[in-house]
Amino acid sequence: MGKGKNKPFIRIVIAVVGLLFVLGIVLIWLKPKSPQTELKLAREAINSAQKAGAEEYAKPLYEEAKQLYDSAMSSWTAQNERFFPRRDYREVLSFVNLTIAKAIHAEQNSLQQIKNTNVIAKRGIEDLEGKILLYNRIYKQIPLSKTVSKAHNLGVMKLSEAKIAYDSERYNEAFVSYKEADGLLNSSNDKAEQILKEWFSDYPHWEKMGADAIRLSKSGHKIILVDKMAHQLFVYQNGKILRSFKAELGVNWMGDKRQKGDKATPEGMYRVIQKKEGSRTKFYKALLINYPNEEDKQRFDSEKKKGALPFRTHIGNLIEIHGLGGKGIDWTDGCIALNNKDMDVLFCLIDTGISVIIVGSLEPLSEICGKN
């Protein structure tokens, strides 16, 4: 009897369970697909961007891509917390698509940035190496202030740092160091160039003096022509170079001599007034020239009157062409020094009364700087 009473109930339970089972199957079938494959693609896109250096070379874009990926993950987590039939991954997929697009953009941007930085740094480094060569070839030999040579040397060290970073493919660091080196080396070269340009404003006068000297030698007389910039002493006769010698000058050889003790080598037309050797000179052999000449004296007096020179200062004297040179540096107090072997030759060639023409340069500055 009891069994008979339970039968309808059992049927109902079985029906309910069956219905629930079918409902479960339908819900599972309808359950939205988890976006794991898409998230994996987004992660791979980020990895690819990172490998392309985006973390450093396209940082804002790369960071945005990472944030979008994190948003996708957060959205996925939020959806997973919902009852499964109510989950909706469309927002997750939207973030995934944005992540992939941003990561690709970051990667492309990074590769372009690397290419650009590489090219700029490489060209910049080569350009600065050229400037260092120019400094060593021309500017280093001119008397420069400590500030200029300090800027140059700091620039040289910074450029070494740039080259080291560049060789290690750290282009951003190479670029930063290159920019610093660029500032330092350009400032030192610009200052040196400015000094040279100011000095070379006298070039037309030197050119004329040089041409006059050569013309003078055409009469058969020997003349001495000194090119201070080239550090060369020429002996001309009949309009042709008879001999040439390497010359060392005063410590502050650039510019005309203005007063005693300025260690500058004078510029102008002089004559040999005395030949000295043995106990008469401490510089092996010497040819004394008539510095100061009339022009020097006039200029000196005029500068003193104008107050450009102190009242008690002296014009200086005893400028010679002498021996004991060959030291490789400009070291005299304003004289012109040759090595002793060359001095022997010159001493034999030259008699008193011979013209000595000293000019800043026989070549224009553009030609000097243009030489490799």
156 Cβ contact partners less than 8 Å away, ≥ 6 residues apart: 132, 181, 185
Is 341 a binder of another protein (CB under 8 A)?
A: yes
Is 331 a binder of another protein (CB under 8 A)?
A: yes
C-alpha span between 371 and 362 (Å, rounded): 14
Is 48 a binder of another protein (CB under 8 A)?
A: no
Is 15 a binder of another protein (CB under 8 A)?
A: no
Over the window 161 to 180, marking each residue x when it contacts another protein by CB under 8 A and - when it does not, the resulting string is x--xx----x--x---x---
| Least distance CB 17 / another protein (angstroms) | 7
Instruction: Write down the catalytic residue from 314, 322, 348, 369.
Output: 322
Is 335 part of the annotated catalytic residue set?
A: yes
Element (H, E) at 268: strand 268-277
Is 34 a binder of another protein (CB under 8 A)?
A: yes
* Maximum pairwise Cα distance, the chain: 158
Instruction: Write down the catalytic residue from 231, 335, 348, 369.
Output: 335
Is 326 a binder of another protein (CB under 8 A)?
A: yes
Is 40 a binder of another protein (CB under 8 A)?
A: yes
Q: Is the peptide bond before 8 cis (omega within 30 degrees of 0)?
A: no
Is 50 a binder of another protein (CB under 8 A)?
A: yes
CA 58 to chain centre: 26
What DSSP assignment string belongs to 82-115?
S-GGG---HHHHHHHHHHHHHHHHHHHHHHHHHH
| Least distance CB 54 / another protein (angstroms) | 11
Token pair of 61 as six digits = 């874009």
| Least distance CB 325 / another protein (angstroms) | 8
What DSSP assignment string belongs to 311-368?
TT-------EEESS--SSS--BSS-EE--HHHHHHHHHH--TT-EEEEES-SS-HHHH
**333-346 burial, b for 16+ CB within 10 Å, e for fewer?**
bbbbbbbbebbeeb
Size of the site for another protein (CB under 8 A): 54
Instruction: Using alpha carbons only, give the angle 147, 150, 151 rounded to the nearest 5 degrees.
Output: 85
| Least distance CB 338 / another protein (angstroms) | 12
202 Cβ contact partners less than 8 Å away, ≥ 6 residues apart: 267, 360
C-alpha span between 139 and 155 (Å, rounded): 15
Q: Which of residues 99-128 bind another protein (CB under 8 A)?
A: none
| Least distance CB 332 / another protein (angstroms) | 8
Is 149 a binder of another protein (CB under 8 A)?
A: yes
Nearest CA among 172, 146, 170, 174 for reference residue 160: 174
> Candidates 36-44, 191-199, 264-272, 354-362 — which segment interacts with another protein by CB under 8 A?
36-44
| Least distance CB 268 / another protein (angstroms) | 24
Please give the positions annotated as active site.
Answer: 322, 335
Interface with another protein (CB under 8 A): 6, 9-10, 13, 16-17, 20, 24, 28, 34, 36, 39-40, 43, 46-47, 50-51, 69, 73, 76-77, 80-81, 84, 87, 146, 149-150, 153-154, 156-158, 160-161, 164-165, 170, 173, 177, 251, 324, 326-333, 339-341
